[in-house]
Amino acid sequence: MSVNGTAAPRIVRTRTRTLPRLGRPTSRAPWLLLGPFLALFVLTFALPIIMAVVSSFQRVERAGLFGEAGESTVFAGFSNYAQALEDSNFITSIGRMLLFGIVQVPVMIALCTLLALLLESASARWPGLFRAAYFLPYGIPGVIATILWSFLYTPGLSPLLDAAQVVGVEINPLGSELVLWSIANIVTWTYTGYNMLIVIAQLKSIPGELYEAARLDGAGPVRIARSIQLPLIRPALMLTTVFSIIGTLQLFAEPQVLANSSTAIDSGYTPNLAAYTNAFAYNNYGVAAAQAVLIAVIAFTLSFTFLRLSNRGSR
């Protein structure tokens, strides 16, 4: 009897999924097991999403001058969406996130791939130590990381800016030109190590014989990386890219916290920040819901476009 409970991740592609002949003794068992998850999933995922979609088509009308005669919810058609899309600040914030994503996601994925390849190569000394060091920031919540970096971005407080001044470089990471890239730096700092671990997990699943064969054919490390490792870690790279795209579109904590110390960040700097402001500062829930739905739709579209394009590229 072979029960490889402790086996390292094995990429087992069972294409032909044989339905087990089980479920015969009781048909209740799967529902008992799945039930609690399903109930909570409905409560915290399905219902809120349905509610968001419904309220994105509704408007609250207040009767009387100050709403003293009560409120009523009426069907609003696409007016919330129209309002969201006509708001040039909202469109600008989406464009800002796209620019952010086009630069930050490839940089981070390239960096985490490079680090993973270097750490897994025989040339690296103390790989365990470096891996832990790179992964450390992931354990620091985005909010805390942003507070930390915001101090390092503050003139007078930051030794980095002092050092830059000594060599004659005057930069203001919190100014309107640089603040987006200051946020990008925080995100890269936090998530590179995490993505690197996903890539390393897949690198470790490459069979040793492949390396052996390539080396006997005279391939050097660069050649091995290009011809063997990179093609085989594609699934991990795609996974991390899709998660990064989704993460970029819902950027919230970093800009919201950084707004404490930077006047360049307003209450609608990212799409999510705009939705939050609409819902809680302006009580404009319908528009906020429409914005949340739009953000989710854009995230879906970009993820699927990326998957489609990269799948086509591989065929």
Partner 1 sequence: MTTTPQTPTAQLSTPHPASHDPAAGARRSRARAGGSPGATNPARQVLVTGILVVVALYFLVPVYWVIVAASKSSSDLFATPGFLFSGQVQLWQNIQQVFTAGDGIFGRWLLNSVLYAGVGALIATYLAAAGGYALAKYAFRGRDTIFGVILGGVLVPGTATALPLFLLFSSLGLANTYWAVLLPSLVSPFGLFLCQVYARTTIDDGLLEAARLDGAGELRIFHTVGLRILTPALVTVFLFQLVGIWNNYFLPLVMLSDEKLYPVTLGLQNWNSQVSRLPEFYELTTAGVLVSIIPLAIAMIILQRFWRGGLTEGSIK
Size of the site for partner 1 (CB under 8 A): 142
Residue 76 near residue 57, CB atoms below 8 Å: yes
Min dist. Cβ of residue 315 to partner 1 (A): 12
Cβ nearer to partner 1, comparing 23 with 77: 23
User: With binding defined as CB under 8 A, does residue 267 bind partner 1?
Assistant: no
35-48 burial, b at 16+ Cβ within 10 Å, e below that, comes to: eeeeeeeeeeeeee
Answer for which of 89, 204, 281, 305 binds partner 1 (CB under 8 A) is: 204
Positions 48 through 77 that interact with partner 1 (CB under 8 A): 48-49, 51-52, 55
| Burial classification of residue 119, based on how many CB atoms lie within 10 Å of its CB (0-12 exposed, 13-18 middle, 19 or more buried) | buried
Give the DSSP per-residue string, 73-112.
Answer: EEE-TTHHHHHHHH-HHHHHHHHHHHHHHHHHHHHHHHHH
Positions 156 through 195 that interact with partner 1 (CB under 8 A): 156-160, 162, 189, 192-193
Non-local (6+) Cβ contacts of 281 within 8 A are: 267
Task: Considering only the stretches 59-67, 73-81, 91-99, 286-294, report the one whose residues sit in contact with partner 1 under the rule CB under 8 A.
Answer: 286-294
User: With binding defined as CB under 8 A, does residue 119 bind partner 1?
Assistant: yes
Give the DSSP per-residue string, 146-169.
Answer: HHHHHHHTSTTT-HHHHHHHHTT-
Cβ nearer to partner 1, comparing 65 with 166: 166
Sign for the pseudo-dihedral over CA of 189, 193, 194, 196: positive
User: With binding defined as CB under 8 A, does residue 120 bind partner 1?
Assistant: yes
Shortest CA distance to 253 belongs to which of 105, 161, 135, 149?
149
User: With binding defined as CB under 8 A, does residue 122 bind partner 1?
Assistant: yes
DSSP character at residue 7: P
Answer for which of 102, 223, 282, 305 binds partner 1 (CB under 8 A) is: 223
**At 200, is the secondary structure helix, strand, or coil?**
helix
Positions 14 through 33 that interact with partner 1 (CB under 8 A): 14, 17, 19-23, 25-27, 29-33
Answer for which of 9, 70, 231, 313 binds partner 1 (CB under 8 A) is: 9
Answer for which of 209, 309, 312, 315 binds partner 1 (CB under 8 A) is: 209
Task: Considering only the stretches 77-85, 95-103, 140-148, 165-173, report the one whose residues sit in contact with partner 1 under the rule CB under 8 A.
Answer: 140-148
Min dist. Cβ of residue 309 to partner 1 (A): 13
Q: How far apart are CA 293 and CA 295, in angstroms?
A: 5
User: With binding defined as CB under 8 A, does residue 132 bind partner 1?
Assistant: yes
Residue 220 near residue 120, CB atoms below 8 Å: no
Answer for which of 71, 235, 301, 305 binds partner 1 (CB under 8 A) is: 235
Answer for which of 62, 280, 281, 301 binds partner 1 (CB under 8 A) is: 280
Shortest CA distance to 54 belongs to which of 83, 70, 74?
74
